[in-house]
Amino acid sequence: TVSGLTPQRLERVLKSRLQRNYKDAGELEVTVALTNAAKPDVPEDDLKPKIFITGEVLRPGPYAIRQATTLVQALSLAGGLGPFAARGRIQVRRGTGANEQIFSFDYKSYESGGSPESNISLQAGDVIIVPERGFLE
């Protein structure tokens, strides 16, 4: 069984076990190469924490987050706001059911220098909703 061993570690194990059978041959040379690694049952991307961006952005969908990410950074990852985005009514929904929290974000206000505290840090599982603007917005 070699599960969990690196090729280099397996080389050392094989060399030490085979050397006693080849004492007269001198120093053994053993090479191990990995040709086809088994794929895990769960794709690696499914194990990474994600946020979800939907609505009027250029590239909606799930996004893996590997470091602290703010709402504005996430919108940038999604290609920015679409041409029909309701910039003053963006929401971040966190949690589910009775525990759901809703954070409102006014991109227009943030863009003009107001409300820097509304650019919250996101958490895994957050859903960002960018609605389409109404007829009179």
In the chain the domains, ranked by start, together with CATH numbers, are 7-38 (no CATH), 45-130 (3.10.560.10)
Residue 9 has pLDDT above 70, yes or no: yes
**Opening angle at CA 129, ends 124 and 78, nearest 5:** 70
* pLDDT of 2: 74
Which is higher by pLDDT, 61 or 18? 61
List pLDDT tens digits, range 117-131: 899 999 999 999 999
Looking at residue 116, the DSSP 8-state letter turns out to be G
Is the pLDDT score of 11 beyond 90?
Answer: no
CB 70 within 8 A of CB 51: no
Summarised one tens digit per residue, pLDDT across range 65-98 is 888 999 999 999 999 999 999 999 999 999 988 8
Cα–Cα distance for residue pair 57/90, rounded to 1 Å:
11
Supply angle C-alpha 98, 102, 106, rounded to 5. Answer: 170
E runs forming strands in 3-105: 50-55, 61-64, 90-94, 101-105
pLDDT category at 39 given cuts 50, 70, 90 is low
